[in-house]
Amino acid sequence: MTEKVFAVIGTGAIGGYYGARLHHGGHDVHFLFNSDYQHVTEHGLTVDSHYGDYSIDKKQLNAYADTSEMPKADVILIALKTTQNHLLDTLLKPLLKPDSLVMLLQNGIGAEQEIAQHFDLPYVGGGLCFICSNKTGPGHIHHIDYGRITMGLYGEKQTTALDEFAEDLLQAGVDVEIDRNIIDARWKKLLWNIPFNGLSTVLNADTKQMMNCNELVELSRSIMGEVQQAAQTTDTLIEDALIDAMLTNTAKMKPYLTSMLLDRRHQRELELQYMYKNAIDMADKQGVSMPKTQALYQQLCFINQQIKNEG
């Protein structure tokens, strides 16, 4: 059997970590870099993890600055911010094979359908990364905690591609859960992302600071309740116990700077379309309002506009 080829588009806190895990699991992994390209060709990719070191020496690192120079891939991990999805028209095409599994390791809801339709793909995978991982410098990733991926497919279900990729990850030491309905899985991830990414960004606070304020915990719970109701409009049932579990786990985790807060601090565009507007619009079409989520989204829009003006 021919060795499977993996491609990572967006080698940051997410793509770099999981790509490095696959590399250390013995797989043929090829990484696309942007501003870090020169650095990693000289120093390699550094991944500091509480599970151990997953760094890749420069001599072993398959690093590229252009996807046209990369081999076509069996599995393509897209770990770009959703604000960069417009670049996929150029980045993704050179890597596609007729049976490639495109796996979106991104936040929010609605992207799988867009990618499948735009590239005329029979299926697109979605991976929800329950991980605390930050990029701390050029080619340098700090993995703080967790790392499980929940995966599902949009589109054609009669494929073994998802199960095979899950097995590859498991062999590389990554905890994997398969949720056949990717929409269900994305709503469950939004249950945490909508309150904690947004509130942390507005308040400029880490998760520990947030959970130390009882009033803010109750606000987070209320927003999670709105997400719960919105999810029901797509027949996704979220139990109250999941809300309780997420709040409990957040209180226990090490102080964590959410990805959106880091985007604000580094003056990068915020991921608002897929994480907030799509969810609000989907609920609104079914007559379900999300007033607290809407208010949070509007505040984030103001911050996003300031970032664009200052940029």
> Structural domain tally of the chain?
2
**CATH at 59:** 3.40.50.720
Among residues 150, 174, 198, which one ends one of the domains?
A: 174
Joined tokens for residue 167: 């097995």
Residue 103 lies in a domain: yes
Q: Which of 255, 254, 231, 234 is nearest to 243 (CA)?
A: 231
Residue 211 lies in a domain: yes
What's the helix, strand, coil split of the chain in %, to 5? 50, 20, 30
Q: Mean pLDDT across the stretch 4-24?
A: 97
Among residues 121, 144, 174, which one ends one of the domains?
A: 174
Secondary structure (3-state) at 133:
strand
Q: Do 139 and 34 share a structural domain?
A: yes
User: Which structural domain, as residue segments, surrounds residue 115?
Assistant: 5-174
b/e burial code for range 242-253 (CB count within 10 A of at least 16 → b): ebeebbeebeeb
CA angle, residues 109, 23, 258, in degrees to nearest 5:
40
Joined tokens for residue 24: 């250390």
Q: How far does CA 182 lie from the centroid of its chain?
A: 13
Q: Do 132 and 25 share a structural domain?
A: yes
Q: Do 291 and 165 share a structural domain?
A: no
**CATH at 290:** 1.10.1040.10
For all residues of the chain together, what is the average pLDDT? 95
Residues whose CB is less than 8 angstroms from the CB of residue 256 and which lie 6 or more positions away in sequence, other chains included: 132, 144, 145, 206, 207, 208
pLDDT in tens, 97-124: 999 999 999 999 999 999 999 999 999 9
Read off the pTM.
0.86
Q: Do 228 and 277 share a structural domain?
A: yes
Catalytic residues: 189
Residue 221 lies in a domain: yes
Q: Do 263 and 204 share a structural domain?
A: yes
Q: Do 158 and 31 share a structural domain?
A: yes
pLDDT reported for residue 2: 66
pLDDT in tens, 30-71: 999 999 999 999 999 999 998 999 999 999 999 999 999 999
